[in-house]
Structure 1
Amino acid sequence: MTQINFTLNFDQLKEEVMQSSLNDVIKSSIVVVLNKYMEEERNQFMNNASYERDGERSDYRNGYYDRDLVLNIGRIPLKVPRTRSGEFSTQAFEKYSRSDQAFLLSMVEMVVNGVSTRKVSKVVEQLCGEKVSKSMVSDLTKELDPIIKEWSERPLSTDYYRYVYVDATYIKVREFHKVVSKAVYIALGVNSNDEREIIGFKVSGVESKANWSDFFESLISRGLHAPKLIISDAHEGLKSAVQEKFLGSSWQRCTVHFIKNITDAMPKKDSAEARHHLKEIFKAQSIDISRMLKEEFITKFGDDKKYQKAINVLDEGYEDAVQFYTEPPVTHRHIRSTNVLERINGEVKRRVRVIRIFPNPESAFRLVGAVLKDYDASVDSGGRKYFYR
């Protein structure tokens, strides 16, 4: 039997459908094709063509009946062939109802990509002429649950992650009839092939040593070995959890956050030279040059009381901020800050912004997980390496 396939550029449709309607010629063409398809089905069933005489025929054509078929390109009216015995049945409706599955997946994809359920419902109505409730769209996203669960719980023992970045971002979630802030804990690892992977995430309460410890325990239980370097900001609870859970790992304080901490303690005016000098300390080619630049900074600005607090902050946190120098030079600009994870946090916020408030923690885990899984699949695809040697 002839196979008929239709493909749609759904991304283009969802962009254009809000301002325009589908061309009726498209629907009319599909009506013609599907009617012809069903006619051929009936011919094959009867083993003869229309008006062909056959003394051994066991059935006769008996006209048509009307039936609508709703596809992802809209509702179309069809003329369905029938036979006198009623034994003939077209497979067109069964075959093309499968396209609804692709359509439903597209609806889920739209939600994951940051389209609100209200807009998805409107797109569906424009495409199909049928209303879809927001609750139906939300229910559809639950199909993601087993996929996200499997991905988020995959073993980590099959590879070694030399560098692990950790950070948290915040979202709003409705819980016990009130809106609360929830932290999304994210861990990004660099594996033995110099490729980045999102190795874990968790939606939980505000940052604390207990919550960071629980998050690290979940990674360790999945097989994560202590990395050479853990890169993060200087949240006290996070630092304590790292020291407790990853014995033997070094902690790299994010230099971007550290420099901001120092400059916040500087005078606002007439400090451009000091700020420039400070940045050069952490861009130096080696640890020896970095230490020299640090001492020059203290010597140059140490007698000025306006810089005393900044110098104290620099002196106290310097060693934790230069751990990256123990690693190969090609990695330095990548592992001295959490910039790579900040970009992921920004992507999560961009994609969930339309939701504003998640109806429950489960929906937050589902959608954030889908966004992270989608990001993870493309971050270092095609054999691309994070470090260029």
Structure 2
Amino acid sequence: MTQLQFNLDMDVLKESIMNSNLELIVKSTLVLVLNEYMEKERDDYLNAAAYERSLDRRDYRNGYYERELIMSIGKLRIKVPRTRGGEFSPSIFEKFSRVDQTLILSMLEMVINGVSTRKVKNIVKQLCGQSVSKSFVSSLTEKLDPVVKAWANRPLNVEYYPYLYADATYIKVRENNKVISKAAYLITGMGEDKKRKVLGFKIDHVESFQAWQEFFQDLKSRGLQSPKLVISDAHAGLKKAIERVFIGTAWQRCTVHFKRNIVNALPKTGSRQIISDLRKIYQVVSVEESRKYRDKFIELYAENKKVRKAIEILEEGYEDTIQFLNEPEKYQIHILSNNSLERLNQEIRKRVSVIRIFPNNQSAFRLIGALLMENENLELNKKVYLTAERNFA
């Protein structure tokens, strides 16, 4: 273990404490410790103490140079020892990379939680009295890449997910000097323990059959087994991709979206009882009960011209919205709609609205991936810390 020795003039130290604020005392003490630590490291590197003659000497001392180290307590100016050959480098800069890791994690957390790089820059200046550039904050977030990539490509063959939820939300990305709209595809799965997990996400062009098909095939290549049911909206390309990739899997149309379409076809006023009767169709636990209420609804309002369009929508999409009733009752309330994924997409949109336009696909993938990891309560901070400590330069 490295041992440090300090020669302190207690009268000078006492006077400094009496006439200084606590912040300056902490900074001065830390500078003293770091300087002494680097001096000891140079001695160990040279295999010789100051003024010592030794046959094992590797190099010779060559004075010092000043360098700044930004930490959460502010900016420190330290004296870095150097050698004549120039090969010696103190470990302090490997560990702190000129910026305290605590400060690094704080900046990363701000970015992940939707704080713009400009605001992060201003916050750091207020906290530390030292400004960092926007490009520095942006380059810092790139240290998330290996963490997010490893998580996004993790194996999926360790657990079976009988129910999948699929949806996409749109973001703006700058590409070839143009701002274009791109789709952020997202798949979550619910296991037999009723716990939901994010299984995959990707950034691609507009929602299409080909994009969804490639996405599902990628999930299968990572070990995902064909589910019993996929819950989503009625996007034609998505439905077709489910049929092609997951042979024998049923498709559940989101009942919330479907009922909303029916209600939008009803008169704006005087429809309260109609809506109440419509809801009864899905407040059941068996297909037989649902069909009974469906038939009753159609019979009751068949002669009402104002409800005719709503009845047509119901008849056209009804069978696809009752697939959840073929599953065990304990799962039914969890798989009749895509609401859980909708809420997750809302959270993504809220954070993304701060950024407005991503500079490229990778930055969008990085931020959305970090948000999804955080949503699952993974030990993101710990992983980011280790990654930043290894890679930050």
- Scaled by the length of structure 2, the TM-score of the pair is 0.78
Which amino acid is 2:283 matched to?
Answer: K
Q: Aligned equivalents of 2:352 and 2:312: distance in 1? A: 40
Specify the SS of the correspondent of 2:172. strand
Q: Mark the CA change 1:27 to 1:79 in structure 2 (over 3 Å): closer, same or farther.
A: farther
1:28 and 2:24 equivalent? yes
Q: Aligned equivalents of 2:38 and 2:137: distance in 1? A: 37
Q: Aligned equivalents of 1:109 and 1:143: distance in 2? A: 12
Q: What are the Cα deviations for residues 231-279 of structure 1, in whole angstroms up to 9, with x where unaligned?
A: 0011111111111111111111100001011111212121111111111
Which amino acid is 2:256 matched to?
Answer: V
Q: Which moved more, 1:259-268 or 1:283-292?
A: 283-292
CA contact 1:228–1:249 (8 Å) conserved in 2: yes
Q: Mark the CA change 1:187 to 1:35 in structure 2 (over 3 Å): closer, same or farther.
A: closer
Q: Mark the CA change 1:273 to 1:68 in structure 2 (over 3 Å): closer, same or farther.
A: same
CA contact 1:27–1:74 (8 Å) conserved in 2: no
Which amino acid is 1:333 matched to?
Answer: I
Q: What are the Cα deviations for residues 332-388 of structure 1, in whole angstroms up to 9, with x where unaligned?
A: 111100010011101111111110011111211111111112112369xxxxxxxxx
Which amino acid is 2:341 matched to?
Answer: L
Unaligned runs of 5+ in 1: 4-23, 46-56, 82-88, 380-389
Residue 285 of structure 2 is matched in structure 1 by: 285
CA contact 2:212–2:237 (8 Å) conserved in 1: yes
1:309 and 2:304 equivalent? no
Residue 300 of structure 1 is matched in structure 2 by: 300
Residue 341 of structure 1 is matched in structure 2 by: 341
Specify the SS of the correspondent of 1:137. helix
- Scaled by the length of structure 1, the TM-score of the pair is 0.78
Specify the SS of the correspondent of 1:291. helix
Q: What are the Cα deviations for residues 32-82 of structure 1, in whole angstroms up to 9, with x where unaligned?
A: 54367469879999xxxxxxxxxxx978xxxx999865312212467999x
Q: Return the offset for 1:26.
A: 4.5
Q: Aligned equivalents of 2:240 and 2:40: distance in 1? A: 74
Residue 11 of structure 1 is matched in structure 2 by: none
Which amino acid is 1:296 matched to?
Answer: K
Residue 17 of structure 1 is matched in structure 2 by: none
Give the length in aligned residue pairs.
342
Q: Mark the CA change 1:283 to 1:40 in structure 2 (over 3 Å): closer, same or farther.
A: same
Specify the SS of the correspondent of 2:123. helix
Unaligned runs of 5+ in 2: 4-19, 42-49, 53-63, 82-88, 380-393
CA contact 2:184–2:203 (8 Å) conserved in 1: yes
Q: Which moved more, 1:119-128 or 1:158-167?
A: 119-128
Q: Mark the CA change 1:133 to 1:265 in structure 2 (over 3 Å): closer, same or farther.
A: same
Q: Mark the CA change 1:188 to 1:80 in structure 2 (over 3 Å): closer, same or farther.
A: closer
Specify the SS of the correspondent of 1:70. strand
Q: Return the offset for 1:295.
A: 1.2
CA contact 1:38–1:90 (8 Å) conserved in 2: no
Question: Percent of aligned positions with the same letter in both sequences?
Answer: 50
Residue 18 of structure 1 is matched in structure 2 by: none
Q: Mark the CA change 1:136 to 1:67 in structure 2 (over 3 Å): closer, same or farther.
A: closer
Q: Return the offset for 1:289.
A: 2.0
Q: Aligned equivalents of 2:40 and 2:178: distance in 1? A: 63
